[in-house]
């Protein structure tokens, strides 16, 4: 095992009694209908059942005893993509309201068997909550991946329309967890993706995805009309959305795309952000820019997703998205969607929920989550993000009636009765054999999709599902790994950025290692007296004023602000006492040391699973934990030293070791069991 099969492992059912019951109950498959997606469902059932039952389970034309029947039946209670799995006396019926639902049902049925569910407990009915369940790849034309930690792009652009077997496995993995849309190239988009010569190749790829119920999208560069006509006799020199030549160019391009890809999903656009071109270059608004494209896509049932991630122009970059997009509420057309990152900064380990959720009640919204671990440890630190995403989706905006709507209400369409809403995940997939660069990274891919399907699932349910599908049902493995994974996000937070400060890595770099000095003023204002960022309406940037009154009161008050966001919202003296009774600085010290020690425990706990997990994956994960420990230590020592350097306050309490140098310079040493010596001002002999 090398991780390639992810959670789609169809190994022989280990429990021999259950195996023989399964063998009696499922002897052949019947696909009712000829739709390509139904044929995929049949093929997956054949593959899965043959593996799980250890014998060939064929697809037949006629329903006999013990058939697994997959098909569709109109059922308005299921929505367009729901399904039922029903066991009758002599067969199992997997029925979708549409073909995609049938495919999802087939995968879910196999997952039930992978998890060795008794025959009596196979029945279920389910439907997805969010209509748009989307991956965003940040893949470039040279196959590098922006913020990718799992090798190169899966897609070999220059080989298209030649197809690789891996594209089918990619499409299967998406369908297995209900992903129905994918944007295959980077939001910092090369216009080349839209060049006519490229489109037949992309159409071939779209064909593979289509058979698994997934629609292909492209990120579009807003200045594509300029770039792609540069070599023509009378080139277009502007990208103004109100310019008729520009409009005609897009119209022709969209017509051309739909001739080749009839189910093309649409465009994702990053405009006027971090140097990308956009409508603001011509004095137009984001809404005008978006609508020009949306209107042309609408004729084909295409959609336009416009990102709100813009952070130029204000002293406090947390405010810009709201200040730019909130006034545009109600101006985006019906098939346009505004896609907003979960927080106002940029995928930090902890951020408040972006105030734009709740701030755009008359706009279709998608939430953008980052599955690839740009700021959360790449493929070295284990950081299982589902608990974080749960807390974001459950956030009550207080902008409607009562405390609602929640973010989940908004992105599932419940809040404002919308259909063009959903969840996008900036994905961590690459061409590494294990897809995600480290074995446990795939849990985030799986978890994102499961939440897009149903944000009410608990982190515990989702992670259990993933572990059982990925490693099998060994109780010890499940319980140990589950405990590790469910604590990993808060652990990462505790040794990198407790109390909500965030952004302590070099802004222009890889966002992996600590570099707190480089974000002074950007994310914190650290002095000898205290640290944090005053974002209150009363004395600071005013950011807290962007929330509903309920949250303004809470975030704006030092006494009421939740500890985990304290330094995001306030500038706080080191000696300020938290609810725990500890001073703020002591909390920072303790948190970093505790967090590091938890990582050491993770490694030890994993070690106890030797022999219970197949050798190659066991060793691979053990090696990742070794590297994780080293990196956690680096974070701990850098951040603790940084604050000690400013505050010169020595930690107190049990476990802390205080060192006195002969020169009398330095006291602070670290914890007795994990020594980190801060050596500023020590003489060289003292240092050694
Ligand atoms: C930041 C990334 C950058 C992306 C940008 C974005 O560092 O690579 O291009 O966000 O989302 O997180 O547009």
Q: For residue 189, report the distance from its CA to the centre of ligand 1, in Å.
A: 12
Position 109 scores a pLDDT of 98
pLDDT in tens, 72-116: 999 889 999 999 999 999 999 999 999 999 999 999 999 999 999
Residue 230 CA to ligand 1 center (angstroms) comes to 28
Is residue 119 domain-shared with residue 136, that is, in the same domain? no
Rounded distance, CA 375 to CA 116, Å? 37
Helix (H) / strand (E) containing 70: strand 67-72
How would you label 195-224 residue by residue, b for 16+ Cβ within 10 Å and e otherwise?
Answer: eeebbebbbbbbbbbbbbbbbbbbbbbbbb
Rounded to an integer, what distance in angstroms lies between the CA atom of residue 369 and that of residue 455? 13
Among residues 628, 625, 632, 627, the alpha carbon closest in space to that of 609 is found at 625
126 sits in which H/E element:
strand 124-126
Whether residue 405 is preceded by a cis peptide bond, meaning omega within 30 degrees of 0, is yes
SS3 of 289-346: the string is HHHHHHHHHHCCCCEEEEECCCCCCCCCCCCHHHHHHHHHCCCCCCCEEEEEECCCCC
Of 126, 149, 180, the residue that ends a domain is: 126
- Cβ burial of 602 (10 Å; 0-12, 13-18, 19+) is buried
pLDDT at 654: 65
Would you say the CB of residue 506 lies under 6 angstroms from ligand 1?
no
Tell me, in angstroms, the distance from the centre of ligand 1 to residue 337's CA: 19
In the DSSP assignment, the letter for residue 238 is -
Strands 674-675 and 668-671: antiparallel
| Listed residues 70, 91, 126: the one ending a domain | 126
pLDDT, greater one: 623 or 657: 623
Q: Provide CB contacts within 8 A for 329, sequence distance 6+.
A: 359, 360, 361, 362, 363
Across the range 30-36, mean pLDDT stands at 98
188 lines ligand 1 (CB under 6 A): yes
pLDDT of residue 651: 83
Q: What is the CATH number of the domain that holds 623?
A: 3.90.1330.10
What is the overall mean pLDDT for the chain? 95
What Rg value do the Cα atoms of the chain yield, rounded?
Answer: 27
Closest Cα to atom 11 of ligand 1: 309
Residues 223 and 301 in one domain: yes
pTM of the model: 0.96
**What is the per-residue pLDDT across 390-407, written as a single tens digit (0 to 9) for each?**
999 999 999 999 999 999
Tell me the backbone φ, ψ of residue 186, rounded to 5 degrees.
Answer: -60, 140
- Residue 277 phi/psi, 5-degree rounding, is -70, 165
Residues 618 and 663 placed together within one structural domain of the fold: no
Give the confidence band of 652 by pLDDT, cuts at 50, 70, 90: confident
Could you give the 3-state DSSP secondary structure of residue 384?
Answer: coil
Residue 201 shares a structural domain with residue 310: yes
386 secondary structure, DSSP code: H
Do 109 and 211 lie in one domain? The reply is: no
CATH number of the structural domain spanning residue 57: 3.30.379.10
Residue with tokens 């701990």: 636
Pocket flag, ligand 1, residue 321 (CB < 6 Å): no
Q: Identify the band that residue 30 occupies on the pLDDT scale cut at 50, 70 and 90.
A: very high
Residue 641 has a pLDDT of 87
- Does residue 36 lie within any of the structural domains? yes
Q: Residue 516 and residue 114: Cα distance in Å, rounded?
A: 46
At 683 the pLDDT is 56
pLDDT, one tens digit per residue, over 233-276 is 999 999 999 999 999 999 999 999 999 999 999 999 999 999 99
- 112 close to ligand 1 (CB < 6 Angstrom): no
Please report the atom of ligand 1 found closest to the CA of residue 147: 8
Where does residue 247 rank: exposed (0-12), middle (13-18), buried (19+ CB within 10 A)? Answer: middle
Q: How many CB atoms lie within 10 A of CB 534?
A: 18
Helix (H, G, I), strand (E, B) or coil at 241: coil
> What's the pLDDT score for residue 664?
46
Query: Higher model confidence: residue 678 or residue 545?
Result: 545
Kindly state whether residue 440 falls inside one of the protein's structural domains: yes
Per-residue confidence (pLDDT) for residue 674, from 0 to 100? 52
Residue nearest (by alpha carbon) to ligand 1 atom 1: 346
pLDDT at 672 over 60: no
> How many Å separate Cα 93 from the centre of its chain?
33
Q: What is the rounded CA–CA span in Å between residue 497 and residue 596?
A: 12
Q: Within this chain, do residues 662 and 631 fall inside the same structural domain, yes or no?
A: no
- Under the banding of pLDDT at 50, 70 and 90, the label for residue 669 is low
Could you tell me the two tokens for 59? 């697809």
- Any alpha helices (H) in 436-522, and if so which ranges? 442-453, 459-471, 475-496
Whether the CB of 374 sits within 6 Å of ligand 1: yes
CB 183, CB 134: distance < 8 Å:
yes
Q: Is the CB of 341 under 6 A from ligand 1?
A: no
> Of 126, 153, 183, at which residue does a domain stop?
126
Ligand 1 binding pocket includes 432 (Cβ within 6 Å): no
CA distance 320 to 310: 7
Residues 503 and 630 in one domain: yes
Residue 57, pLDDT score: 98
Enter the tokens of residue 282: 């011509």
Q: Stretch 592-621: mean pLDDT, rounded?
A: 97
Q: Which residues are catalytic?
A: 274, 346, 374
How far, in Å, CA of 644 to CA of 630, rounded?
A: 21
Instruction: Kindly report the number of other CB atoms within 10 A of residue 97's CB atom.
Output: 22
Give a yes or no: residue 476 inside a domain: no
Mutate-to-test residue for ligand 1 from 136, 148, 149, 188, highest number of ligand atoms within 8 A of CB: 188
Rounded-to-integer distance, Cα 268 and Cα 415, Å: 23
**In angstroms, what is the span from residue 234 Cα to ligand 1's centroid?**
34
Most ligand 1 atoms within 8 A of CB, residue of 190, 274, 351 to mutate: 274
Q: Dump strand ranges (E) for 187-322.
A: 215-219, 266-269, 303-307
* 109-163 pLDDT tens trace: 999 999 999 999 999 999 999 999 999 999 999 999 999 999 999 999 999 999 9
In a domain, 489, yes or no: no
Distance between CA atoms of residues 198 and 228, nearest Å:
12
More confident residue, 104 or 660: 104
What residues contact residue 450 under an 8 Å CB cut-off, 6+ apart?
Answer: 177, 178, 386, 457, 462, 465
State the DSSP string of 572-608.
EETT-B-TTS-BHHHHHHHHHHHHHHHHHHHHHHHHT
Q: Ligand 1 pocket: which of 136, 140, 144, 146 to mutate (most atoms <8 Å of CB)?
A: 146
Q: Which two tokens stand for residue 2?
A: 């090398």
Of 522, 466, 624, the C-alpha closest to 7 is: 466
The verdict on residue 389 lying in a domain is yes
Return the SS3 of 675. Answer: strand
Pairing of strands 28-31, 59-60: parallel
Both 274 and 405 in one domain: the answer is yes
- What's the token pair of residue 286? 């984001």
pLDDT level of residue 657 (50, 70, 90 thresholds): low
| Protein residue closest via CA to atom 12 of ligand 1 | 346
Number of domains present in the structure of the chain = 4
Q: Is residue 4 part of a domain?
A: no
DSSP result, 39-68: HHHHHHHHHHHHHHHTS---EESS--TTEE
pLDDT for residue 421: 98
Q: How far is the CA of 374 from the centre of ligand 1 (A)?
A: 9
Q: Is 142 exposed, middle or buried (0-12, 13-18, 19+ CB in 10 A)?
A: exposed
Cα(265) to centroid(ligand 1), Å: 22
Cross-strand partners of 97: none
Query: Which residue among 138, 147, 306 is best mutated to probe the pocket of ligand 1, counting the most ligand atoms within 8 A of its Cβ?
Result: 147
Q: Does some domain include residue 292?
A: yes
Q: Which of 303, 313, 312 is nearest to 335 (CA)?
A: 303
164 lines ligand 1 (CB under 6 A): no
Q: In whole angstroms, how far apart are CA 369 and each of 84, 129, 136, 441? A: 29, 17, 10, 15
The helices-and-strands tally (H runs, E runs) of the chain is 19, 19
Which structural domain, as residue segments, surrounds residue 99? Answer: 16-126
- Is the CB–ligand 1 distance for residue 468 below 6 Å? no
In this prediction, residue 183 carries a pLDDT of 99
Residues 347 and 268 in one domain: yes
Query: Which atom of ligand 1 sits closest to the CA of residue 188?
Result: 9
- Ligand 1 lined by 368 (C-beta under 6 Å): no
Domain identity same for 40 and 163: no
Which residues lie closer than 8 Å to 675 by C-beta, 6 or more apart? 657, 669
ipTM: 0.99
Q: Are 574 and 649 in contact (CB under 8 A)?
A: yes
Nearest to 637 by CA among 611, 669, 666: 669
Q: Atom of ligand 1 at shortest distance to CA of 347?
A: 12
In this structure, are 148 and 90 located in the same domain? no
Under 8 Å between Cβ of 278 and 324: no
Domain membership of residue 3 (yes or no) is: no
| Closest to 327 measured CA to CA, from 277, 299, 370, 363 | 363
CA 35 to ligand 1 centroid distance, Å: 39
* Residue 144 Cβ < 6 Å to ligand 1: no
Taking residues 14-35, report their average pLDDT: 98
Centroid of ligand 1 to alpha carbon of 263 (angstroms): 28
Q: Are residues 562 and 586 in the same domain?
A: yes
């Amino acid at each position: 095992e090398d991780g390639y099969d992810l959670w789609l492992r169809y190994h022989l059912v280990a429990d021999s009694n259950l195996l023989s019951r399964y063998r009696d109950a499922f002897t052949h498959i019947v696909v009712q209908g000829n739709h390509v997606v139904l044929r995929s469902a049949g093929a997956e059932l054949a593959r899965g059942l043959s593996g799980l039952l250890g014998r060939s389970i064929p697809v037949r034309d006629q329903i006999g005893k013990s058939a697994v029947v997959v098909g569709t039946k109109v059922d308005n209670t299921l929505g367009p993509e729901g399904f039922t799995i029903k066991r009758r006396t002599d067969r199992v019926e997997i029925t979708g309201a549409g073909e995609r639902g049938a495919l999802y049902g087939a995968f879910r049925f196999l997952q039930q068997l992978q998890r060795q569910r008794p025959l009596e407990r196979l029945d279920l009915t389910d439907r997805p909550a969010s209509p748009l369940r989307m991956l965003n790849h940040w893949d470039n034309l040279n196959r590098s991946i922006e913020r990718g930690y799992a090798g190169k792009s899966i897609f070999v652009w220059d080989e298209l329309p030649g197809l690789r077997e891996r594209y089918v496995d990619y499409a299967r993995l998406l369908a297995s967890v209900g992903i129905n849309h994918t944007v295959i190239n980077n939001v910092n988009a090369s216009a080349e993706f839209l060049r006519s010569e490229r489109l037949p190749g992309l159409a071939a790829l779209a064909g593979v995805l289509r058979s698994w119920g997934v629609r292909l999208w492209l990120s579009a560069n807003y200045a594509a009309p300029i770039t792609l006509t540069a070599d023509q006799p009378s080139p277009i020199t502007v990208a103004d959305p109100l310019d008729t030549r520009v409009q005609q160019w897009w119209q022709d391009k969209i017509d051309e795309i739909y001739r080749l890809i009839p189910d093309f999903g649409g465009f994702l656009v990053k405009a006027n952000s971090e140097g990308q071109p956009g409508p603001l270059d011509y004095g137009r608004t984001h809404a005008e820019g978006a609508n020009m494209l949306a209107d042309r896509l609408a004729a084909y049932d295409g959609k336009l997703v416009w990102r709100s991630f813009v952070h130029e122009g204000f002293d406090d970059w947390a405010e810009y998205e709201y200040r730019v997009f909130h006034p545009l509420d109600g101006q985006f057309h019906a098939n346009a969607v505004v896609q907003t990152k979960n927080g106002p900064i940029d995928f930090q380990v902890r951020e408040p929920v972006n105030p734009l959720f709740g701030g755009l009640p008359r706009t279709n919204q998608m939430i953008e989550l980052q599955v690839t671990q740009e700021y959360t440890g790449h493929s070295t630190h284990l950081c299982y993000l589902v608990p974080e995403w749960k807390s974001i989706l459950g956030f009550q905006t207080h902008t409607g009636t009562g405390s609602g709507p929640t973010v989940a209400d908004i992105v599932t369409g419940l809040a404002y009765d919308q259909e063009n809403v959903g969840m996008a995940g900036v994905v961590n997939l690459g061409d590494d054999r294990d897809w995600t660069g480290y074995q446990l990274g795939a849990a985030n891919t799986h978890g994102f999709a499961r939440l897009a399907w149903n944000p009410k699932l608990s982190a515990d349910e989702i992670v259990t599902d993933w572990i059982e599908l990925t490693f099998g049902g060994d109780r010890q493995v499940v319980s140990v790994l589950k405990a590790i994974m469910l604590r990993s996000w808060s652990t990462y937070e505790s040794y990198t950025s407790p109390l909500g400060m965030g952004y302590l890595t070099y802004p222009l770099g890889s966002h992996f290692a600590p570099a707190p000095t480089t974000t002074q003023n950007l994310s914190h204002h650290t002095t000898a007296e205290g640290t944090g960022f005053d974002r209150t309406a009363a004395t600071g940037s005013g950011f807290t004023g962007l929330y509903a009154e309920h949250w303004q009161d809470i975030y704006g008050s030092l006494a009421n602000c939740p500890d985990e966001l304290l330094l995001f919202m306030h500038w706080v003296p080191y000696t300020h006492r938290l609810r725990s009774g500890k001073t703020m600085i002591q909390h920072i010290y303790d948190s970093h040391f505790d967090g590091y020690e938890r990582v050491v425990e993770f490694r030890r706990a994993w070690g106890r699973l030797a022999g219970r997990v197949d050798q190659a994956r066991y060793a691979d994960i053990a090696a990742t934990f070794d590297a994780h420990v080293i990196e956690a230590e680096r974070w701990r020592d850098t951040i603790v030293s940084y604050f000690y350097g400013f505050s010169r306050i020595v930690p107190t309490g049990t476990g802390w070791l205080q060192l006195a140098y002969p020169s009398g310079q330095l006291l602070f040493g670290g914890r007795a069991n994990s020594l980190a010596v801060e050596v500023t001002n020590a003489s060289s002999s003292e240092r050694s």
